[in-house]
């Protein structure tokens, strides 16, 4: 029998107590895994935004339109490699609650700017450009509704109406857009701006925002200043910022998600720390005599210290690892329903590493005082007690 066997046997000497502790730790790490995964996914756009991509929006607010003429004027600015534009359509399918993220775009430049994230087969892009009334959809949207190339999809807008009356646009699916990495959200529909601009009853010749790529991230500041100065004092002033800063500011509008996540995870951990810490102390106190016997047999103080700490760390790992596994399963189960808020919601390897670090910390903190007490225990006092 080596020390590890002894640690294991000690931990499970009171089976029910050990199982209760494990459940309690499991819950804490499940909460940690789910919330950390959600927080990361929620901020994914901000973290992964390309450094050389910028957004040009109306200075009043990004929901205010810009003139389409800005597209060509920004294209001519030095340091700009590519520009594209987009307009929010406010689309829904059948029921107003069934919102579909849908944008009116300029196909060639749009797919060029986002080439590192999404992939549309060249034939599909050609078919999309050729048929003005067509649309391309992301693979997760296609999977959600079972739509395939060639299907006709009637999309209604909660904002725009057709010149002919009515709020419905019929689109033929020309292609499916694939994400190039797991974190890319493909829950969207894109259709041609030219067709949109001709058919809508108001807002002609305006766009929602511009997306541009600079020749190098070092040029970002200069490009932003040039563009904003170019449109200063016009009827539509602009505000140009990196996609990352824009995403960050938008996420912040929902409230302080980071603070809420930290508070809840903190509350869960304080709870578990107290329960496990007290139980460890109790369980070592109950074994005072035994520790005295081990010392009599020649077990050194540090070795006893190691065994007690080993027991509390083993407990933390036995609860924590299944807790993270449970969190990963929950993330998979919720991934589709949270696709709009937190795309690619998952418990990443980084979170698992953080979790393991927390487990070790939990084991050390809860085991430390009982372990030190056990190490310092005098044999005579230990054997005399109880």
Partner 1 sequence: MGSLWRQVAAVTSINLRSISQRRWLSLSTVIAIALVVVVLLAFLAMANGFQRTIAGAGADDIAIVLRAGSQAEINSTVSRDQVRLIEDGPGIARGPDGKPLISPELYLVVDGVKRSTKTKANLPLRGIGEQGANLRKGIAITEGRMFGGGANEIVVGKSLLREFEGLDLGSTVSFGTTRWTVVGVFDAGGSVFESEIWADLPVVQSLFNRNNIFQTVRVRLTGPAALNELKSYSDNDPRLKLDVKSEATYFAEQASQTSDLIQKLGWPLAIAMAFGALAGALNTMYSSVAARATEIATLRAIGFGGFPAFVGTLVESLLLAAIGGLLGAAATYLIFDGITASTLGGNFTQVVFDFKLSPALIAEGVLLALLVGLIGGLFPAIRAARLPIVSGLYAN
Min dist. Cβ of residue 94 to partner 1 (A): 11
d(CA 280, CA 18): 10
Min dist. Cβ of residue 361 to partner 1 (A): 17
Min dist. Cβ of residue 334 to partner 1 (A): 10
φ and ψ at residue 2, rounded to 5 degrees: -95, 180
Min dist. Cβ of residue 21 to partner 1 (A): 7
Residue where the block lists tokens 């849908």: 102
Min dist. Cβ of residue 15 to partner 1 (A): 11
Q: Would you say 149 or 245 has its CB closer to partner 1?
A: 245
d(CA 179, CA 183): 8
HEC sequence for the chain: CCHHHHHHHHHCCCHHHHHHHHHHHHHHHHHHHHHHHHHHHHCHHHHHCCCCEEEEEECCCCCCCEECHHHHHHHCCCCEEEEEEEEECCEECCCCCCEECEEEECHHHHHHHCCCCEECCHHHHHHHHHCCCEEEEEHHHHHHHCCCCCCEEEEEECCCCECCCCCEEEEEEEEEEEECCCCCCCCCEEEEHHHHHHHECCCCCEECEEEEEECCHHHHHHHHHHHHHHCCCCCCCEEEEEHHHHHHHHHHCCCCHHHHHHHHHHHHHHHHHHHHHHHHHHHHHHCHHHHHHHHHCCCCHHHHHHHHHHHHHHHHHHHHHHHHHHHHHHHHHHCCCCCCCCCCCCCCHHHHHHHHHHHHHHHHHHHHHHHHHHHHCCHHHHHHCC
Min dist. Cβ of residue 172 to partner 1 (A): 23
Q: Would you say 255 or 298 has its CB closer to partner 1?
A: 255
Min dist. Cβ of residue 61 to partner 1 (A): 5
Given the rule CB under 8 A, which residues bind partner 1? Answer: 16-17, 20-21, 23-24, 27-28, 30-31, 58-61, 63-64, 90, 92, 96, 156, 158-159, 161, 167, 202, 233-237, 248-249, 252-256, 263-264, 267-268, 270-272, 274-275, 277-279, 281-282
d(CA 93, CA 238): 33
d(CA 247, CA 43): 8
Min dist. Cβ of residue 292 to partner 1 (A): 17
Min dist. Cβ of residue 155 to partner 1 (A): 12
Q: Would you say 49 or 268 has its CB closer to partner 1?
A: 268
Q: Would you say 215 or 271 has its CB closer to partner 1?
A: 271
Q: Would you say 63 or 296 has its CB closer to partner 1?
A: 63
Q: Would you say 236 or 325 has its CB closer to partner 1?
A: 236
Q: Would you say 109 or 239 has its CB closer to partner 1?
A: 239
Is 171:196 a contact under the CB 8 Å cutoff?
A: no
Q: Would you say 275 or 360 has its CB closer to partner 1?
A: 275
Q: Would you say 4 or 250 has its CB closer to partner 1?
A: 250
CA atoms within 13 A on the CB side of 1: 6
Min dist. Cβ of residue 234 to partner 1 (A): 7
């Amino acid at each position: 029998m080596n020390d590890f066997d002894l640690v294991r046997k000690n931990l499970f000497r009171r089976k029910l107590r050990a199982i209760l502790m494990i459940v309690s730790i499991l819950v804490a790490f499940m909460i940690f895994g789910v919330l950390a995964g959600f927080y990361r996914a929620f901020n994914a756009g901000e973290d992964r935004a390309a450094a050389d991509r910028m957004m040009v929006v109306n200075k009043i607010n990004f929901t205010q339109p810009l003139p389409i003429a800005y597209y060509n004027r920004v294209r001519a600015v030095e340091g700009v490699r590519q520009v594209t534009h987009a307009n929010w359509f406010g689309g829904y399918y059948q029921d107003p609650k069934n919102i579909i993220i849908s944008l009116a775009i300029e196909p060639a430049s749009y797919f060029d700017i986002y080439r590192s994230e999404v992939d549309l087969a060249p034939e599909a892009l050609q078919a999309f450009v050729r048929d003005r009334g067509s649309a391309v959809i992301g693979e997760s949207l296609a999977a959600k509704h079972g739509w395939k190339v060639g299907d006709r999809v009637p999309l209604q807008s909660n904002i725009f109406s057709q010149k002919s009356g009515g709020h419905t646009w019929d689109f033929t699916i020309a292609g499916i857009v694939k994400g190039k990495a797991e974190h890319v959200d493909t829950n969207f529909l894109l259709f041609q701006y030219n067709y949109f601009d001709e058919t809508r009853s108001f807002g002609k010749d305006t766009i929602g925002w511009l997306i541009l790529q600079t020749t190098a991230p070092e040029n970002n500041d200069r490009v932003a200043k040039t563009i904003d100065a170019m449109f200063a004092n016009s009827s539509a002033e602009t505000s140009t910022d990196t996609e990352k800063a824009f995403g960050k500011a938008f996420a912040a509008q929902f409230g302080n998600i980071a603070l809420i996540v930290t508070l809840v995870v903190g509350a869960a951990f304080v709870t578990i720390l107290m329960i496990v810490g007290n139980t460890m102390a109790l369980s070592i106190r109950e074994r005072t005599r035994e520790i005295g016997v081990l010392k009599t047999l020649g077990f050194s103080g540090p070795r006893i210290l190691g065994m007690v700490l080993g027991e509390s760390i083993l407990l933390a790992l036995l609860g924590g690892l299944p807790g993270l596994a449970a969190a990963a399963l929950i993330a998979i189960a919720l991934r589709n329903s949270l696709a709009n808020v937190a795309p690619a919601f998952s418990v990443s390897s980084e979170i698992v590493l953080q979790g393991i670090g927390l487990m070790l910390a939990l084991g050390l903190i809860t085991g430390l005082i009982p372990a030190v007490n056990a190490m310092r225990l005098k044999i005579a006092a230990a054997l005399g007690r109880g």
